[in-house]
Amino acid sequence: MTKTFGKVLGLISFITIILILAACGNGAGSENGPSSDSSDSSNGSDSGEEKVLKLATSADFPPFESRTPEGEFEGFDIDLANLIADELGYQLKIEDMKFDGLIGSLQSKRVDMVMAGMSMTEDRRKNVEFSTEYNRSGEMFISKPDAGIDSLEDLKGKTVGVQLGTIQQEGAEKLKDEYGFEVKKLDSANILIQELKSNRIEVGYMDKSVAKGYVKEQGLEGFDDPTTSSPGMGIAFPKDSDLVDDVNDILKKLEENGKLAELKDKWLSEE
């Protein structure tokens, strides 16, 4: 009787241990989402052979990211993302969304990383992880050539368009009372340019490296923001993502082998 009881007890403990071990095994790794295991970069977003790196961007921001008339993604960030995916041995999948939704897509782990000319602000750092800096750009105010807007003082009484969720929105809101202008928040940089061209806003405020392109292409004018102190741009990841170290190593490698400089020459060099 006692013997049988002992055996049953033994069996139950054995099964319990097996179940606990199995549960641990399943749990580990799933916590950080798809691309979480840095010790084994073969751990892709999808199970099986296909290893997918999900990138989100806001493709309204040439020369960093935009869409060709055929709908293909192109730009500095896109080329860099492809190089990174190649190095990691992942297939790159790009999702286009509003800039304002990018941080949320990382927080919900819907995507593995974001490249969108995103400035690495302290506020964003509270919610996402950043790579090392890969580019730096100041800010610029742009307007139609006949508008006569050449300084902060000229912004008085004007409406300044900014892209929703950007550091320019934040910056403009800080300056608006001092210089007496209105801020209009717009979903995309493309809409901002349309609004400017159709006189619904008088001024646009955006990253200098992007503004310069629009100035040239659309025959606009602009002046540098003398107050700017924006942080550099980086790649953003969900908090605790194991991809950060791998990607930083790759960025370092691309810097050392000159590939990053090549990309900058290709997309960002124009003065």
- For ligand ARG, the binding residues (CB under 6 A) are 58, 60-61, 65, 99, 116-119, 163, 166-167, 189, 207
Report the distance separating Cα 237 and Cα 218, nearest Å: 34
Check if the beta carbon of residue 141 is closer than 8 Å to that of residue 225: yes
In the chain, how many H helices and how many E strands?
Answer: 9, 12
Q: Identify which of residues 51 and 189 has a Cβ nearer to ligand ARG in the complex.
A: 189
Q: Identify which of residues 170 and 182 has a Cβ nearer to ligand ARG in the complex.
A: 170
Question: Could you tell me the CA-to-CA distances from 206 to 93, 122, 189 in Å, in that order?
Answer: 27, 19, 8
Q: Identify which of residues 155 and 189 has a Cβ nearer to ligand ARG in the complex.
A: 189
Long-range contacts of residues 32-37, Cβ cutoff 8 Å, at least 24 apart:
32/238, 32/240, 32/241, 32/242, 33/109, 33/112, 33/238, 33/241, 34/109, 34/112, 35/90, 35/112, 35/241, 35/242, 35/243, 36/241, 36/242, 36/243, 37/242
Check if the beta carbon of residue 91 is closer than 8 Å to that of residue 52: yes
Please state the closest distance from residue 177 (CB atom) to ligand ARG, in A.
Answer: 21
Please state the closest distance from residue 50 (CB atom) to ligand ARG, in A.
Answer: 27
Q: Identify which of residues 38 and 82 has a Cβ nearer to ligand ARG in the complex.
A: 82
Please state the closest distance from residue 106 (CB atom) to ligand ARG, in A.
Answer: 14
Please state the closest distance from residue 207 (CB atom) to ligand ARG, in A.
Answer: 5
Strand partners, 183: 160
Q: Identify which of residues 61 and 73 has a Cβ nearer to ligand ARG in the complex.
A: 61
Q: Please, is 237 exposed, middle or buried when counting C-beta atoms within 10 Å of its C-beta (0-12, 13-18, 19+)? A: buried
Please state the closest distance from residue 179 (CB atom) to ligand ARG, in A.
Answer: 20
Please state the closest distance from residue 122 (CB atom) to ligand ARG, in A.
Answer: 13
Report the distance separating Cα 81 and Cα 75, nearest Å: 10
Cβ atoms within 10 A of the Cβ of 182, count? 15
Please state the closest distance from residue 18 (CB atom) to ligand ARG, in A.
Answer: 50
Q: Identify which of residues 115 and 244 has a Cβ nearer to ligand ARG in the complex.
A: 115
Q: Identify which of residues 235 and 250 has a Cβ nearer to ligand ARG in the complex.
A: 235
